[in-house]
Amino acid sequence: MVGDIIGTIALGSLVLRADLLIFLLSAAFGYIVLKIKFRHREAGGWIKEGYVNALGIGFFLWKFSMLFFSPLETLSNPLSLLYFTGGQRGVWLGVLGAITYLAYRGYKNRPLLVPFVKAALLAYGAVQGFRFTMFFLWEGAVGWENLLCAVLAAGLGIMAWLKYESPLRSFLPLALWYSIGSAVIPFLDEYRHAVLIGFSLEQLFFLLVAISLLFLDSFIGNKR
C-alpha cells in the first residue's frame, strides 16, 4: 500500500512509531482545516465533533485490531498492543468502523447530510494530502509515489474548499477522479500486494468507488 512506512521517531526518551506520529499530525491538520472553514457556520461544531469521533473510532480499531485477528496471542502478551497493530487488516477495520460511524451520524441528522458529506471530502483531502507529504519527506525519492498521492489528495481538498457552496453533485467529478487516480498510482509501487488480476485491495476499493460514482452520476442525470 502506498504510504506504508516502517520506523520509529525518538522524542527525548519517548520512542514513537513513525506511522503513528504521522497519523496524529495528519489528524490535527485536518481538524485545523475544518476549524478554519467552519468557524462561522452553525453546523461547524457538529461536523468537527463527528470528525474527532470518526478518527477516534478508526484509530482505536486499527491500534487494537490484533485483539480481533489474533486474540489468544495478544492476550498472552498484552504489551504487544503498545508496539504492534493489525497491519493492513487493521487499517481496513479502522476505515470500515469510521465510515460506518459517519454514515450512521449522517443518517441520524439528515438535514445536515449534504454539508456533512462536503466536509468529509474536504477533511479527507486535507488529511491524506498532509499524510502522504509526510511519507514522502520521510522516505525521500524512494517513495516518490507518495508525492503523487499527496498532490492528488491536496487537489481534492483544495477543490472541496473552493467549491463548498456548490451543489453536492458538482463534488462527484472530484471524488471520481480522485478514486481513479488512487487506483492507478499504486501500479507504480512494485512492492504492492496484488490480490486480484494485478490489483491490490486498496486499488480494488477505489475502483469500486469510481464505478459506483459513475452509476450514481448517471442515475442522477436520468432523473433530471
17, containing H or E segment: strand 14-17
Contact 174, 163 (CB under 8 A): yes
DSSP helix/strand/coil, 14: strand
Which parts of 8-77 fold into alpha helices (H)? 18-37, 44-63, 66-69, 71-76
Question: Whats the size of the chain, residue-wise?
Answer: 224
Residues 78, 64: Cα–Cα separation, whole Å: 10
pLDDT tens, 8-37?
665 555 556 777 788 889 999 999 999 999
Residue 79 phi/psi, 5-degree rounding, is -65, -15
Beta bridge partners of 14: 11
What is the per-residue pLDDT for 52? 94
Query: Would you place residue 61 in the very low, low, confident or very high pLDDT band (cuts 50, 70, 90)?
Result: confident
- Following CA atoms 169, 174, 175, 181 in sequence, which dihedral angle do they give, to the nearest 10 degrees? 160
Query: Would you place residue 184 in the very low, low, confident or very high pLDDT band (cuts 50, 70, 90)?
Result: very high
From 55-59, 75-79, 111-115, 208-212, the region with the lowest mean pLDDT: 75-79
- Given a cut of 90, whether residue 156 has pLDDT beyond it is yes
From 30-34, 47-51, 216-220, the region with the lowest mean pLDDT: 216-220
Q: Specify the residue for cell string 476505515.
A: 95
Q: Does the predicted model carry a pTM greater than 0.75? A: yes
Q: Specify the residue for cell string 468507488.
A: 209
What is the per-residue pLDDT for 6? 55
Residue 195 phi/psi, 5-degree rounding, is -115, -20
In this prediction, residues 59-76 reach a mean pLDDT of 77
Q: Specify the residue for cell string 485491495.
A: 201
Supply 165's cell numbers: 457552496
Position with higher pLDDT, 185 vs 40:
185
Residues 94, 55: Cα–Cα separation, whole Å: 9
In this prediction, residues 176-194 reach a mean pLDDT of 86
Contact 149, 130 (CB under 8 A): no
pLDDT tens, 75-89?
777 766 666 666 677
DSSP string, 183-218: HHGGGG-TT--EEETTEEHHHHHHHHHHHHHHHHHH
